[in-house]
Amino acid sequence: MTILSTLGPLLAALLAGYWLHLKPFTPERVAKGLTQLTFVILGLIGYSIGALDNLASKIVIAGYQAMVLFVAVTVLPLAVLWISGRVFHGGASKVAHVDNNSSTQQALRDAAKTLAWVLAGVVAGWSLKHWLPSVDELVTWLLYLLLFLVGCQLRQGNFRLRKLFLNTQGMAIACTTIVTTLLAGLVAGSLLGLEWNKSLAVVSGFGWYSLSGILITGLGDPVLGTTAFLLDLGREIVALMLIPLFARINSHLSVGYSGATAMDFTLPLLGKVHGADIVPVCIASGFIMSLLTPILIPLFMGM
């Protein structure tokens, strides 16, 4: 599969959603559609995984890969983000005492619901292997629709691209996180024996677990897609638990490790611990990573 045939349709769907203003696609409908479509696709991905031969061994492989990659994309980016936080004067600030138990509990509930859909699909695929013979093709078409809705949501956020890319702190955090995450992926991938392009693809979700696993599985590698899903799911949960601690050191650590979720899921907690001034930085950093995820994953997978 060439880069053009892999990236082209996916990028076209994303840009169509971003540039086309269709009245029926209201923010409420887009948000609801994204949630429901994500669960459906995750269920179908679970089906694809369940239908694999030697299922148990492949799940063990995905879990092991996710653990090794998780260590790499945690240690290296955090070390460099600590340095960039000092260089760009994004150091420690007054941090409010925040009880983030509710945020963590919500993250665990969402994770449990997501895993339930995947596991239900795995059971269906294992017991009904030939029930959906064209499941991969169906996932591909649903993936186009998903990226169209993602584009709609990015546009509806009223983010001015020029203003976001001129936010010095947000750009510094995003660039540092992206470069070090990709480098960590290459290092961990070499230890795991992964091809370099797949090593880069699997870490390019930057915490966006509901998209990274879907994209990679939809592009023909369900085992690596499972790895990406577990990796980014673990990263989001750990980020929620450690944000108050990171915030006491510097904002680059807390915002950068939140990855793509800094513009949405982890934004409320980041705003509470840092204050309202951090919100534009979070949105800029998170938006840049969110925009690059559906571009980088198919780009690397097509190489």
> pLDDT of 234-249, one tens digit each?
888 888 888 888 888 8
Go through 254-290 and write b for each residue having 16 or more CB atoms within 10 A of its CB, e for each that does not. Answer: bbbbbbbbbbbbbbebbbbbbeeebbebbbbbbbbbb
Alpha carbon of 15 to those of 144, 152, 154, 206: distances in Å?
A: 11, 9, 10, 20
Residue 1 has pLDDT above 60, yes or no: no
Contact (CB, 8 A) for 77 and 235: no
The two structure tokens encoding residue 159:
């983010």
The answer to whether residue 159 scores a pLDDT higher than 70 is no
The model's pLDDT over 139-157, given as tens digits with 9 standing for 90+, comes to: 778 878 887 887 787 777 6
Residue 138 CA to residue 140 CA, distance in Å, equals 5
Cβ neighbours of residue 218 closer than 8 Å, sequence gap 6 or more: 41, 45, 136, 139, 140, 143, 225
The larger pLDDT score, comparing residue 162 to residue 274, is at: 274
Task: Give the whole-angstrom CA distance, residue 52 versus residue 223.
Answer: 9
In the block, tokens 């169906």 appear at 138
| pLDDT over 80 (residue 99) | no
Q: Is the pLDDT of residue 138 over 60?
A: yes
Q: By C-alpha distance, which of 190, 182, 220, 179 is closest to 68? A: 190
Residue 237 has a pLDDT of 81
In percent, how much of the chain has pLDDT > 90? 26
